[in-house]
Structure formats: C-alpha cells, structure tokens
Amino acid sequence: MAGKSKTVYVCSECGCESPKWMGRCSECGAWNTMVEDVRIPKSAAVPQTKPAHSFSARPLSSINADDEHRFVTGISELDRVLGGGIVKGSVVLLSGDPGIGKSTILLQVCGALQNGLDILYVSGEESPVQIKLRAKRIGLESERVSIMSETDVQTVCEYIASAKPDLVIVDSIQTMQHSDISSSPGSIVQVRESTNLLLRTGKSLDIPVILVGHVNKGGDIAGPKVLEHIVDTVLYFEGERNQSYRILRAIKNRFGSTNEIGVFEMGEAGLTEVENPSAMMLSGRMSDVSGGCITCVIEGTRPILAEVQGLVAATGFGNARRTATGFDYNRLNLLLAVLEKRLGLYYSNLDTYLNIVGGIRIDEPAADLAVALSLVSGLRDIPLPDDLVAFGEIGLSGELRSVPRAQARITEAARMGFKQCVLPFACLKQITSCPDTIKLIGVRRLSEAVSLIR
Ligand code: TYD
Ligand code: MG
C-alpha cells in the first residue's frame, strides 16, 4: 500500500537533509543550496530485483581478481584516462560544458569498440535522426548500435534487462525521469533515483553504463554532489569552446589513476586524438617576445611542454592587479614575494598577468622556475632564448629544489628541439643519459637562473 509522500529539503552540495528550508546548510555551511525533494515511501517505490545473495564473507585471498574485465575502446587517449578501458559493471559519469563534445566522443566510442559489442545508446536529448546525422558526420556505420529515444528510466532499465547489451550509454542523466517521483526531470531527486536504478541494473547484470552529466554555471556536475560518490569513475571534458582542442580528465577513478589526461582535437569529422600534446601546446608560439618561457610538466605519466606567459605593465589605478590563468593565484603571489625579497625585483606598483597557454592547468611546483623567469623577462622586457626550457621548484629562500622525473622532462624537451634546459642543480644527478642536442644548466638559486636574462 502506498503511504503519503513527504517533502524534505536536500543540500545539493553535501546531501544533508532537513525537514525545513534553510538559507544555509547546517552541515557544510554552503549558502542557498537546499532544494526541495519529494520522498516516496518504500512500498510505493520501484520493486527492486534483489540479487540472491548468500550472507557469507570470504577470505580476501580466495577472491579471484584476474578476471577484471575491460572493454578496450580503441581510442587510446580515452583508454588511458579510464585506466585501460571500460571495466565491466562499472558506472562512468562523463561531464563537461554544453557543446564540448560529450555526445560526439560517446558516439565515437560506439564506432571504436571493435570487438563487435552490442551497444545501447539512450538519448533523452536528441531524436534518432539527429543522432544518425552526427553518426554520419563521424563515419559511424554499425549494425550493433541501437538508439533508444526515451526519458523514462524504468522503461530503459526494463529494456536493458531484456536485451542485455554489452554497454549502455545514457545521454544525459538530467533528462531521465522516474515516473513514481513527481518532481521534474533534472531535479536532485530525479537525477539521484535515476542513477541509482541504472546503477543497480548495470551492476546486477555486469553491464557497464556511461552517463552524461551536465554541469551547472559554477562548473559543478548538476544534481546532487552525492552522484559523484555513487559512480565508479567521474570524467570531465574541458577546453575552450572557441579553440579546437579538448582535455579529458579523470576526477575520480576506482579502477585507475586520476592523474592521466587525454588530449583531443575537434574537427570536421568528430574528435581526433592528439598524440603529440607538446607540439599542440606550443603551436602558434611567437619568438622574441618578452615574458614567454617554456616549461615541462608531468601530466599523469607523460611529460608535456607548456608555455608560460607573463605580462607586467604599469598599473593604471592605485591597486596593482594580479591575475593567474591556468596557475594557482596564491602560488603566483608567493613567487612574486620571493622575487621581491630575495632578488630585489619590485612588482608592487605593476599589474602582473600570468597565463598558461593552451587551456591546461598546471598544479605542479616544477613550473615555478618557468613562472619566475617569465615574470622577470616581462619586467625587464628582455625575451628569453627561444630554445630554452626551464623547470624546478622554488623555495621561500629563493633556492631551487629538485623535482621528480627530470630525465623524462629533458628527453621530451630534446625531442621537441630545445637546446638549453635550466633545472635545479640537485636534479643533475638524476640524469642518466642526456641527448647531445641539449645543454643542461644546473642552478642552485633563483638568482643564478635570473642572471641568464641579460
Ligand atoms: P556535442 O557532442 O553535441 O556536445 P555535448 O554533447 O557535449 O553538448 O558537440 C557539439 C559541438 O561539436 C558542436 O558545437 C559541433 C561540434 N562538432 C564538430 O565540430 N565536429 C563534429 O564532427 C561534430 C560531430 C561536432
Ligand atoms: Mg550532447
């Protein structure tokens, strides 16, 4: 018998519940995050098909993990981010700004899964004709991809249970709705319940499910934050809309590392993999301009060259402006303080703008040296040599500290044709084989590195 439904308020940040609306969540302190949610009593909710389980615990050693099964998509940039392919029975959430290419990449996954798998593509956003047109554009011709235009999550799950495809793609989770719940599609409760139902269906049949999730204005995944906790893997597709390249990043991954990134380029026929991201990051670089410095960062397991640009200009108002794009703002302030205090270079009445070209974000301290050099080059208006790469962490006393994987960074710089590399002196002992084409300049202090700008 169905009982009375009840209204509660749920915080979209932390999932905390309250019987009354509050301006500020009492759990996490976030403002204006309480959203109305209608609770259906258990008896009225969907009857769950419970897997018959035996209530027993097993010794860890007796569990066989060799049969972890992955579907290798054949798109190597995606496989790398996923940790080697899509794990059977896992739930992957793919999110990103509208128009970034989420639907495109998933349709390409359908085409790339070569070992003849049956794929169900559920779309609540586009009609089958629209999907067909996109598939034509990216050259997808497959007998084994079925398109389902449906928004009712129970219908979708029933279909999955009867057709038993090898992979299910749901585009997007915000369009799915559960008919037992009165709130509108996209609301916190609809998103959560739809995810839960798809998750249970997928896990019980060992079918991987990929969900597309929209992001809200703040860049968070729309819907409850708890969604990120439920799923196994959260991927984020990012990039500048007006530029063609896109970066795929894992924010959470139960089956692999979260450090890996995949780089793609959007073209006429869908997304193509970028096998040489360094070349992409350095394309369009101008020579002989002050404030530019190339660094080498490690993204996951790969070294990637990136250009740091610093612009230092006279301030128009009393307060100097400082901005950092792609780099931590507080780290920029710290490096400016080190330059002032240890080297006597004053930026206090100058506007300082820092930008990492190519839309990537650098969080590694190894970029410190390149940032400092670009700021000094910008201040003095003297360009750095075009063939110079710099990396190294800067300490508060103005000393240069060793960073990991110096060998890989140097090899990448040499491969891309750079001839000089400024690095912490302490890193020199890590180097086992240095290509002849690149000269290593080991420095102990920032002042030694800065003296190269003359
Ligand atoms: P889409 O995958 O629909 O984005 P999302 O699902 O994340 O909202 O991508 C749409 C954008 O990609 C659209 O602006 C057109 C562009 N695009 C191309 O440039 N080339 C292509 O081959 C395709 C299919 C899309
Ligand atoms: Mg889409």
What's the helix, strand, coil split of the chain in %, to 5?
A: 30, 30, 45
pTM, full prediction: 0.76
Q: State in Å: Cα 281 to ligand 2 middle.
A: 27
Q: Domain 70-275, what fold? A: Rossmann fold (3.40.50)
Whether the CB-CB separation of 391 and 397 falls below 8 Å is answered with no
Element (H, E) at 304: strand 302-314
Helix (H, G, I), strand (E, B) or coil at 295: strand
Q: What's the pLDDT at 189?
A: 79
In 3D space, the residue among 71, 104, 69 whose CA is nearest the CA of residue 85 turns out to be 71
* HSE-CB for 17 with a 13 A CA cutoff: 10
Instruction: Give CA angle at 178 (175, 183), nearest 5°.
Output: 80
**CA 206, 212, 216, 218 torsion: positive or negative?**
positive
Q: Report domain extents, the chain.
A: 6-39, 70-275, 280-450
Residues within 5 Å of ion ligand 2 by Cβ?
103
Amino acid at site 367: A
Distance in angstroms (rounded) separating the CA atoms of residues 107 and 67: 27
Nearest CA to ligand 1 atom 25: 270
Whether the CB-CB separation of 21 and 9 falls below 8 Å is answered with yes
Tokens of 288: 């002989």
φ, ψ of residue 85 to 5 degrees: the values are: 125, 175
Distance in angstroms (rounded) separating the CA atoms of residues 146 and 150: 12
For ligand 1, mutation pick of 95, 104, 244 (most atoms within 8 Å of CB): 104
Amino acid at site 120: L
Q: Domain 280-450, what fold? A: Ribosomal Protein S5; domain 2 (3.30.230)
Distance in angstroms (rounded) separating the CA atoms of residues 264 and 426: 35
Determine if ligand 1 sits within 6 Å of the CB of residue 138.
yes
Determine if ligand 1 sits within 6 Å of the CB of residue 270.
yes
Q: What's the pLDDT at 149?
A: 92
Nearest CA to ligand 1 atom 11: 99
Determine if ligand 1 sits within 6 Å of the CB of residue 134.
yes
Distance in angstroms (rounded) separating the CA atoms of residues 72 and 65: 18
- The pairing of strands 420-424 and 439-443 is parallel
Q: Which residues pair with 420 in a beta bridge?
A: 388, 439
Q: Are the folds of 70-275 and 280-450 the same?
A: no
DSSP string, 122-152: EESSS-HHHHHHHHHHTT---TTEEEEE--B
The number of the ligand 1 atom at minimal distance from the alpha carbon of 125 is 6
Q: What's the pLDDT at 15?
A: 75
Determine if ligand 1 sits within 6 Å of the CB of residue 59.
no
- Tens of pLDDT along the chain (454 residues) come to 456 777 888 887 777 888 999 999 888 888 888 888 777 665 554 545 555 555 678 788 877 766 668 888 889 889 989 988 899 889 999 988 888 899 999 999 988 886 678 999 999 989 999 999 999 988 888 788 999 999 999 999 999 999 999 999 999 898 999 888 877 787 777 888 899 999 999 999 999 999 998 876 655 555 556 688 889 999 988 877 667 788 898 888 888 877 788 889 888 888 999 888 888 788 888 888 999 999 999 887 789 999 999 999 998 877 889 999 989 999 999 999 999 999 999 998 899 999 998 778 888 999 999 999 999 999 999 999 999 999 999 999 999 999 999 999 999 999 999 999 999 999 999 888 888 899 999 999 999 999 988 8
Q: Which residues pair with 293 in a beta bridge?
A: 308
